[in-house]
Amino acid sequence: MSVTCPAILIAAPASNQGKTTITAALARLHANLGRKVRVFKAGPDYLDPMIHEQASRNPVESLDLWMVGPERCRELLFSAAQQSDLIIIECGMGLYDGTPSSADLAREFGVPVLAVIDARSMAQTFGALAYGLANYQQDLPFAGVLANRVGSANHNQMLESSLPEGMRYFGGIPRDERMQLPSRHLGLVQASEVEELEQMLEQGAAVLEEAGITSLPEPVSFAAPEQRWRCEKRLEGVRIALACDAAFSFIYPANRRCLEAMGAELIEFSPLADTELPEVDALWLPGGYPELHLETLGANGTMLRSVRDFCASGKPVLAECGGMLYLTRTLGCEDTTAEMCGVLDTDARLEKRLQGLGLQYIDWPEGRVRGHTFHHSSMDDQSLSRWQQAVRQKNGQPGEWFYQQQGVRASYLHLYFESAPEAIGRFFSAD
């Protein structure tokens, strides 16, 4: 069984080419035309999907052949195709970056690639770059190329004329600072923090419409998965406290779905605003930007004590990246340092350079769980006996450090729960 739906994969030769802006603008344009648009992000990401969710007015999922798995990706696309008028997939980094890459994803599901190239300070080399993206691997479904940040009508004509014969030119998008999304050390600023985001999305949609980029891409046939994702109702009656506010917001929709499918009740709370944890059986501290809220987090002494006491109870506690930083003694960013929960006998600080990046996995006693890491902070005293280098890169090489004590498990790894629902269920149920 299969179902067809127009689909396109927005790619680029590298990061910072404008593909997130183009993806969001395209999603808003078609949503404004009354079409149901589903956007997916290739590879692990939290920030771009927040933008795309607001642009498309629909949930955004991650697709990754290693972290999510081919069959689960197939199931997500098949389900979306059954109820959508358009599927847009945004590439992560460059088209061929990573193993597997976004190009591998396009080939796996037959989704044509639209290459977005930042054309600033570029003339005929634009055509050479477009040719390379289209032909580096011969079996890649390639729709054409779009020039971004074009300087003038003459510049646009020069770019189009540089393309090899037969390659489709989708047009040139002029430079417009109003379409520029703000960013910080982990990527784009969260959608909730972007002032006038709605105006930016509408502006982007109008620019694409003016450029004539309004037609739907070619339909793609999406096959039904051979095996559907399933999980046992292992967490019936289990209440899990989930930190969810401006400091802790890196949460895959799939992770919520996984816990709820197993019967768990997620109770959201705010380490910034609430004074204590709700009455629960387990605690989940996801990643986010705690370093941007040091004074508020550090001043909320009753919440710090509540989390510290819960961690001492032996009940399940999962702390991912920013959630782990919240459990340290202190966290520093630039000239500010604040006391945190003090559960982990170590201090953390934000560094100027990237400290960790990549897809990794960890072998828990309950099973192997896959995820990714991306952080600018570092920690002291990781030689303590409670720290293990149990996390592995997907090639088997040593990855991030992992902390385990009583019920607390903490690392820089952002886990993808649906990669191992049985292991996640056993952990949160304290089996």
CA 98/CA 263 separation, integer angstroms: 35
Write the burial class of residue 406 (CB in 10 Å: 0-12 exposed, 13-18 middle, 19+ buried): middle
Residue 413 has pLDDT above 50, yes or no: yes
Let me know whether 204 and 252 are in one domain: no
Tens-digit pLDDT profile for residues 307-322: 999 999 999 999 999 9
Choosing from 194, 223, 252, the residue where a domain stops is 223
Q: How confident is the model at residue 185 (pLDDT cuts 50, 70, 90)?
A: very low
Averaged confidence pLDDT in the chain: 92
Residue 261 CB contacts under 8 Å (≥ 6 apart), including other chains: 231, 421
Query: In angstroms, rounded to a whole number, what is the distance separating the alpha carbons of residues 415 and 407?
Result: 17
Q: What range does the domain containing 361 cover?
A: 239-428
Residue at 234 is within a domain: no
> Is the same domain home to 202 and 249?
no
Instruction: Indicate whether 87 pLDDT > 70.
Output: yes
The verdict on 184 and 279 lying in the same domain is no
How crowded is residue 390: how many other Cβ atoms within 10 Å of its Cβ?
Answer: 19
* Prediction pTM value: 0.92
Instruction: Tell me: do 341 and 214 sit in the same domain.
Output: no
pLDDT of residue 188: 46
Q: In what order do the strands lie in the sheet with 387-388?
A: 265-269, 239-243, 282-285, 317-320, 408-411, 402-405, 387-388
Please determine, for residue 373, whether its predicted confidence score (pLDDT) is greater than 70. Answer: yes
Same domain, 198 and 342: no
Q: In this model, does residue 254 exceed pLDDT 80?
A: yes
Check whether residue 214 and residue 265 sit in a common domain. no
Amino acid 33: pLDDT? 95
Query: Nearest to residue 201, comparing CAs of 17, 28, 38?
Result: 28
In a domain, 300, yes or no: yes
Mark whether 306 and 371 lie in a shared domain.
yes
Q: Give me the number of domains the chain comprises.
A: 2
Report pLDDT for 176. 74
> pLDDT value at position 405?
87
> Whole-angstrom Cα distance, residue 260 to residue 267?
11
pLDDT (tens digit per residue) in 138-168: 899 999 999 999 999 999 999 999 999 999 9
Two structure tokens written together for 343: 């559960």
CA–CA gap between residue 362 and residue 334 (Å, rounded): 31
User: Is 232 within a domain?
Assistant: no
Considering the candidates 5, 91, 321, 341, report the single residue annotated as catalytic: 321
Do both 200 and 271 map to the same domain? Answer: no
Same domain, residue pair 245 and 124: no
In a domain, residue 228? The reply is: no
Q: Which residue has the higher pLDDT, 43 or 315?
A: 315
CA distance 74 to 283: 31
Q: What pLDDT sits at residue 191? A: 52
pLDDT of residue 184: 41
Closest C-alpha among 287, 358, 357 to residue 321? 287
pLDDT in tens, 99-110: 999 999 999 999
pLDDT value of position 289: 92
Residues 260, 214, single domain; the answer is no
Which pLDDT score is estimated for 46?
Answer: 84
Residues 183 and 248 in one domain: no
For residue 192, the model assigns a pLDDT of 58
Percent of the chain with pLDDT over 90: 77
Active site residue 73: no
DSSP 113-160: EEEEEE-TT-STHHHHHHHHHHHSSTT--EEEEEEEEE--HHHHHHHH
Mean pLDDT comparison of 159-168, 175-184, 352-361, 403-412, highest-scoring range: 159-168
How does pLDDT run across 256-270, given as a tens digit for each residue? 999 999 999 999 999
Whether the per-residue pLDDT at 98 is higher than 60: the answer is yes
pLDDT of residue 193: 57
Q: Is residue 281 included in any domain, yes or no?
A: yes
| CATH number of the domain that residue 116 is part of | 3.40.50.300
